[in-house]
Structure 1
Amino acid sequence: MISYGNYKKFNREERVVMMKHVTFKNANIEMKGDLYTQENFDESKKYPAIVAVHPGGAVKEQVSGLYSKRMAEMGYIALAFDASHQGESGGEPRYLENPTERVEDIRSAIDYLSTLSYVDMEKVGVLGICAGGGYSINAALTEKRIKAVATISAFDIGAGFRGDGMLGGLEATLETLNKVAAMRSAQTNGEDSLYITYVPNTEEEAKANPMVLMKEAYDYYRTPRAQHPNSTNKLLFTSLDKIIAFSAFGFVPTLLTQPILAIVGSEANTKGFSENAIELANSPKELFEVKGATHIAMYDVPEYVNQAVNKLGEFFGGNL
């Protein structure tokens, strides 16, 4: 990777991709993104574009940036960005995970694309990974500038936390909501904010965690494999009431009119979310399983990423 004016240059297998840091707004929040293009793209022409949406707690330099580079290699304008309140993007309080704002981030990214003369606004797709997949599907329900939606290891963060999900059952979920309510009162009266983690912070915590996904997530986010200083593994505790109340797929049967592709590893313990989204959809749809891949393996393992990218090229090529 070398400097190239306001861009950085990536060269992989003779296909050169340029990346430029960009800024746009979600209401009063300044958003930070990376815009990927082929080196020789012509600003006087129109190109299809992809908005890449990162997982909860991730940043644009991780999996969404990787897939953006690969989409740019195929000739798309690709935008990866940090969620509001996270990474390099603005927004207070810090480390808030608010699903409603995450969906609005996607709309704001599309607003930004509309200011670029070389983007064909009739050919805009969205690609979401993990919780970003759930947010992408939810955005497509009402954001009809999105013409096609694809997901990698999709995760409905609300459903994942409710009931028998991440919090350990309905009773624990209700108790968490009581704790959030108490925390809001405490913060209002001067107590410091409470932060929890998305994934285990140490190898010991990962080994002790019974969830395979959490062990995988530790290896991706908290080791040199993909660790980034802007991905701090902090989640504002008072995010949880907003997360628990969110349903990514609630209106899919009636409001999703765009083609949808859900890519999932055959060994992913989150595969049910992708299967559910496809089952609910009444628009053109496809579930594509990558044999042998787990949830996190789809983020960066070359043999699995290559299969996903080939399928994404086929899907977006036929629908944008």
Structure 2
Amino acid sequence: MTTNAIETVSVKTPYWDIAADIHFPPDFDESKQYPAVISAHPIGSCKEQTAGNVYGTALAEAGYVVIAFDASYQGASGGEPRFIEDPTQRVQDFSYVIDHLVTLPYVDADRIGVLGICGGGGYSISAATTERRIKVVGSVVGVNFGHLLHEAFSGYDPIATLEAVAAQRTAEARGAGRVVENLLPPTADAATGMGLDVVEATEYYKTSRGEKPNGATRSLVSRRAAGYGWDAFTNAEVLLTQPLCVVVGDKPGAFGSYRDGLEIYRRARSETKQLVVAEGWSHYDLYDKPEPVGQALDALIPFYNKNL
């Protein structure tokens, strides 16, 4: 198999298939065993964006088998209706991806780590609290989705938002059409003046910089309620014991990854943990810009090498 080879696979679950890309290291040899890293994409993203084409590629080049997967209800994975961000489901998906990895003869089942970007970071942390087959956790600008919903995504009025969600779900149950909202403006120009995270998210997701067919950034209104009762960091003081590397940018935005990163670094029970602050860089800079991504990888790769 040649350098940078990628294989698209279907991960079987009891409910539907999860679509995933396996990134192989250079000079891959099927007769050998490799450590593996599961790479989890941001909220409303897909496996072909930063989780796969940036961090997945880099970790594969560093010698890891990397599997980047689409969350249920999103991307090329199954699940109906579409455009649902269900934290419980997203966390459950990790275990089925691991079930797939441990059947591969070239994966060392005792050396499986995770890396999550944005919401994927929060989900990776939550999954590791109960999934003991995860041996190392990496988070890049990890976001606690529960925090985000209670704050920026609801205008700090979660009850009003939940009331609107309930009304829409009732309407759909009675035959009304589904309402799917785009979480971002249609163009970078339209995002001008809307705050750092919205502007930079639009510059990433709505331009050639990061736009992909399955990077939907859309949300089904009637199925938004699940995340409001969820917290990525529940029981971290007791159950999150794996080595933990947290990368944040020090330009905080409304989505809260800087604050969330410092919080989980403080709260995690992990005896081995590292906090990396990319000075002068923002949440979305760490998706794909070479200098801050380089800073993240300069910390993450040695951390995996030592602890995985």
Cα offset for 1:195?
Answer: 1.2
The answer to whether residue 65 in structure 2 is matched with residue 77 in structure 1 is yes
The answer to whether residue 242 in structure 2 is matched with residue 258 in structure 1 is yes
Q: For 1:311, give the aligned amino acid.
A: A
2:206 to 205, 222, 235: 222
Aligned to 2:276: 288
- Name the SS for the 1:115 alignment partner: coil
Identity %: 39
- Name the SS for the 2:222 alignment partner: helix
Q: For 2:35, give the aligned amino acid.
A: P
Cα offset for 1:143?
Answer: 0.2
Aligned to 1:13: none
Distance in 2 separating the partners of 1:239 and 1:263: 30
TM-score (norm 2): 0.95
Cα offset for 1:315?
Answer: 0.6
Q: For 2:299, give the aligned amino acid.
A: K
Q: For 1:67, give the aligned amino acid.
A: Y
Q: Is the 8 A contact 1:149 1:260 kept in 2?
A: yes
Distance in 2 separating the partners of 1:123 and 1:238: 39
2:19 to 26, 29, 32: 32
The answer to whether residue 262 in structure 2 is matched with residue 278 in structure 1 is no
1:33-74 Cα deviation digits (max 9, x unpaired): 110112412211111000000001101110001211100001
Distance in 2 separating the partners of 1:203 and 1:41: 40
Root-mean-square deviation (CA), in Å?
Answer: 1.3
Distance in 1 separating the partners of 2:113 and 2:14: 22
Aligned 1:36-185 pairs, distance under 5 A: 36-65=23-52, 66-162=54-150, 164-169=151-156, 172-185=157-170
Cα offset for 1:271?
Answer: 0.5
Distance in 1 separating the partners of 2:31 and 2:189: 54
Q: For 1:192, give the aligned amino acid.
A: G
- Name the SS for the 1:276 alignment partner: helix
The answer to whether residue 183 in structure 2 is matched with residue 198 in structure 1 is yes
Q: For 1:229, give the aligned amino acid.
A: P
Cα offset for 1:239?
Answer: 2.9
The answer to whether residue 288 in structure 2 is matched with residue 304 in structure 1 is no
Q: Is the 8 A contact 1:26 1:104 kept in 2?
A: no
Distance in 1 separating the partners of 2:57 and 2:80: 30
Distance in 2 separating the partners of 1:147 and 1:275: 21
Cα offset for 1:197?
Answer: 2.1
1:75-96 Cα deviation digits (max 9, x unpaired): 1000001111111111101111
- Name the SS for the 2:12 alignment partner: strand
Distance in 2 separating the partners of 1:239 and 1:69: 33
Cα offset for 1:282?
Answer: 1.9
1:186-238 Cα deviation digits (max 9, x unpaired): 111111111122222233441142x2111100000011111011112211112
- Name the SS for the 1:292 alignment partner: strand
Gaps of 5+ in 2: none
TM-score (norm 1): 0.92
Distance in 1 separating the partners of 2:197 and 2:31: 45
Q: Is the 8 A contact 2:187 2:207 kept in 1?
A: no
Aligned to 1:12: none
Q: Is the 8 A contact 1:201 1:233 kept in 2?
A: no
Aligned to 1:188: 173
Distance in 1 separating the partners of 2:94 and 2:183: 21
